[in-house]
Structure 1
Amino acid sequence: MIDNLLSPNLIDGALTRLVLVNAVYFKGLWKSRFQPENTKKRTFVAADGKSYQVPMLAQLSVFRCGSTSTPNDLWYNFIELPYHGESISMLIALPTESSTPLSAIIPHISTKTIDSWMSTMVPKRVQVILPKFTAVAQTDLKEPLKALGITEMFDPSKANFAKITRSENLHVSHILQKAKIEVSEDGTKASAATSKNWVRSQDGLRYRGMSMLSPTQPLSQ
């Protein structure tokens, strides 16, 4: 599902020494499948406020759902769509008022919030109308990780990957993650891939346990 994770400009033939990639894949079939004949084009209001005609899944069935509000009294509804086996579900949140943007709700959603949803939801017979969609997102995790305090591996002067190689100073230049999700009548397919690029520091080589930064600087253990 994931393609073109790394663009050619991120691979430096002279400096790149290692690219490590890992991937995860998920495929879940709805416990209550959406019938294809009920899929019709309906109006969908995007985050930019514009309306689009898109294929929408629809079914009338019993689902666990509920409603709550943010600390500043913005109300929203939530619903659980279980997959076969009922060990995994998709949770969907939607503002109660059409004038409330989803972006106003998202900052208040956390694992604690979701735990409260799970404990307060009750089964109800509801009409579910859901976009049939494919979404792709890509981000560089370097800055988010640095904000969490993970900094040394990105710093050419502090990174220590001696267990990978002692012949060169290596540091991580990028950690890119790309994710894709497809939602259809049958269920959900999702995949994510993360790549880490190790590059050689341009200002020095590691040799026999010593770091040689430049001829004008002292050697250090």
Structure 2
Amino acid sequence: MSYVSGNINTNSHIIPDATVKATTDPDQARKERAKDKLRKAEAEGNHLWAVTKEKLFQPAVAGGLFSVVNLGVIGGLGYLFYTTPAYRSDAKFIGSAAAGTLLLLGAEGVMAESYLQTEEGQREKQRAQEEGSALYRQTREVVLRPGVFGGLLGLVNVAVLGGLGYTAYSHWDERVWDRRWVTGLTVGTLALFAGEG
């Protein structure tokens, strides 16, 4: 037995301090770190939502998003009706699609109307009216010149007569051509030409 091991009192124990254990509890420290991270994530999420809301709900951006949604809905419905013929005669599906589309367009109209009630909406409306008026005046000035307008009417006439001629030529042998069709096409064409005159 050595001198060092002989002088150690085996009956003495070190009693840990209770205050040290309470402040250095690993579970409590882990919980505090998790709560702190959660608060930081919530604050960052709220900031990102505020920035996103500010950017998305500008009239031009929101209008563009509404246009994309509208095109998606109309295109999706058209694709479903085209690819699945059973939907064309399903009254429940047609009614649901019409109601959903009307609900979507109504909600967009309500949002646009509520935006127009704000000061920024009124300024945007005034600016759009001024731009629209200027665009209309410029278009009218360019298009309604005699040479331009006559050329546009000539293009419309050529397109109408060419379309009618092509349709008549390609479907000449079919039994579709009765007096009602011929009369309707003739009256429609004459009405178009009279309106142009």
Q: What TM-score, normalized to structure 2?
A: 0.19
Normalized per residue, the structure richer in strand is 1
Higher relative contact order (CA 8 A, sep 6+): 1
Q: Larger Cα Rg: Structure 1 or Structure 2?
A: 2
More helix by share: 2
